[in-house]
Amino acid sequence: MSVTTSATAADAVGKPVRGEPDESSDVELTVLMPCLNEAETIAICIAKAMSFFARAGVRGEVLVADNGSTDGSQGLALGKGARVLSVSERGYGAALDAGIRAARSRYVILGDADDSYDFSQLDEFWSDLRAGHDLVMGNRFRGGVAPGAMTLLHHVGNRALSFVGRRFFGASIGDFHCGLRGVNRDRIMALGLYSGGMEYASEMVIGAMLRHYKIVEVPTTLGKAGRSRPSHLRTWRDGWRHLRLMLLLSPRWLFVYPGLLLTLVGAGVAAALLPGPVVIAHRLTLDIRTFLVAAAVILLGLQSMSFGIVARRFAASYRILPEPERFAGPLAAVTVGRGLVVAGVMTVSGLAGLGWSLARWGMAGFGPLADALVTRVLVLSLTALVAAVQMAFTSFLLGVIELPARRDQSCREASARAIIARDRRRACSDGVDES
């Protein structure tokens, strides 16, 4: 059993490395620790990781991704035999991303360097990685949280954000933000993660879920951090960044579902008020003003849904999100031509209603209207015309978004035709030479 963990100062401190791991290395596992002023605990964490390597017979390295420490953490890490990577771009996600790229092994276990996780007990992470899982997540709620290790606000926030993640992305992960996790380096790099802050943890889980990676959870104990300085975590700011990322990566929940709800509510209220006023209670009557609000709500809902369709198509075209599976048929059915046809039908309907309303007004001598139905039909007709314009613009915008994808497809087809033609010329040439 050999333990590959030591490194000299000359080759241990450097820029983030991109590309494949060193093929000449026999390192099986990298324990990656992002670090920013962890002088009180970095040596303890490294020693625990080393003890796991020795006990489990693993050829491993400890890689410290230092994010600009000023307390001597780098020297302490080097003194304990770790490799230190200097990461100039600030941020938790930036440090982890650079560390994963610089790892010398196929498997990487990530964990905070504040001694809140026990690096000497990585057996389940290691065995699950070797069993073929792409992402092995720790679960602090199943493993236990030591007294004082997590504030009540952080506990509630983690629970809430994990619930949102499960609801938005169909995940079965109980703890989205556990700082201890194991990854298959190549598979995680293939996700093209880009977040530089704390939300990198959420992006990794979401990306792995959307691409159907093999994910498993391991009960993990969260201990009280050994540092005396304040945590780098900013509760409200970082919580918002996690939630914002989840919303941006789920156009359905950000745009489509709220828009659908608004449209249905607006249409229901408008249908109830179309025959005339509705008396709810004494001195509470819903009439034309409420009808106008319902029409505005319908337009807002339709606009929100169109945003969702455009956002989802954009995300798929630029590979921010994979092609949708659940709603692939309906989304594929939304084309420029079909959208313009629907817009045309809505325009004709709106103009017909507008013409009818003007005719009825003319019959009244273009004076005050006693028939409230005319006003209601007029409002619905104008709503249909505005919605038709929205639909037409949305259809053209979808066409603009699809232009790069069509261009790339044309280039690929041209390349394929060129290759086929070349192969045919070679075949003909070989035939001539044989004859």
Domain ranges of the chain: 9-248, 251-426
The closest alpha carbon to 184, from 163, 214, 207, belongs to: 214
Tens-digit pLDDT profile for residues 42-91: 999 999 999 999 999 999 999 999 999 999 999 999 999 999 999 999 99
Distance CA 376, CA 291 (A): 7
Higher pLDDT, 201 or 431: 201
Q: What is the mean pLDDT of residues 263-277?
A: 93
Which residues contact residue 223 at a Cβ distance below 8 angstroms, ignoring those fewer than 6 apart? Answer: 115, 116, 117, 118, 146, 149
Q: What is the mean pLDDT of residues 84-101?
A: 93
Neighbours of 151 (CB within 10 A): 12
Please report how many Cα atoms fall inside a 13 Å half-sphere around the Cα of residue 259, on the Cβ side: 17
Q: What is the mean pLDDT of residues 174-189?
A: 93
Tens-digit pLDDT profile for residues 289-307: 999 999 999 999 999 999 9
Tell which phi-psi region holds residue 42, choosing left (phi > 0), alpha (psi between -120 and 50) or beta. Answer: alpha
Please list, residue by residue across 10-33, b when 16 or more beta carbons sit within 10 angstroms of its beta carbon and e when fewer do: eebbeebbeeebeeeeebbbbbbb
Higher pLDDT, 8 or 385: 385
Percentage with pLDDT > 90 across the chain:
57
Minimum mean pLDDT among 252-261, 311-320, 330-339: which range? Answer: 330-339
Both tokens of 152, joined, read 């009540």
Helix (H) / strand (E) element for 137: namely strand 135-139
Distance CA 280, CA 285 (A): 6
Residue 424 reports pLDDT greater than 80? no
Minimum mean pLDDT among 24-38, 221-235, 322-336: which range? Answer: 322-336
Minimum mean pLDDT among 136-150, 181-195, 361-375: which range? Answer: 361-375
Q: What are the start-end ranges of the H helices in 234-335? A: 235-248, 251, 257-273, 288-317, 328-333
- Looking at residue 373, its pLDDT comes to 87
For the four alpha carbons of 6, 9, 10 and 11, in that order, the dihedral sign comes to: positive
Please list, residue by residue across 299-308, b when 16 or more beta carbons sit within 10 angstroms of its beta carbon and e when fewer do: bebbbbbbbb
Q: Supply the mean pLDDT for the chain.
A: 85
User: pLDDT confidence of 422, banded at 50, 70, 90?
Assistant: low
The closest alpha carbon to 31, from 10, 46, 9, 13, belongs to: 46
Distance CA 321, CA 315 (A): 5
User: pLDDT confidence of 314, banded at 50, 70, 90?
Assistant: confident
Residues in the chain: 435
Residue with token string 């930036």: 94
- Looking at residue 322, its pLDDT comes to 82
The closest alpha carbon to 242, from 334, 336, 176, belongs to: 176
Please tell me the CATH code under which domain 9-248 is placed.
3.90.550.10
Q: What is the mean pLDDT of residues 322-329?
A: 66
Residue 15 reports pLDDT greater than 60? no
Residue pair 351/381 in contact by the 8 Å Cβ criterion: yes
Distance CA 171, CA 250 (A): 13
User: pLDDT confidence of 405, banded at 50, 70, 90?
Assistant: low
Residue 375 reports pLDDT greater than 60? yes
Query: What pTM, to 2 d.p., does this model score?
Result: 0.77
Distance CA 252, CA 330 (A): 13
Q: What is the mean pLDDT of residues 307-330?
A: 78
- Looking at residue 276, its pLDDT comes to 87
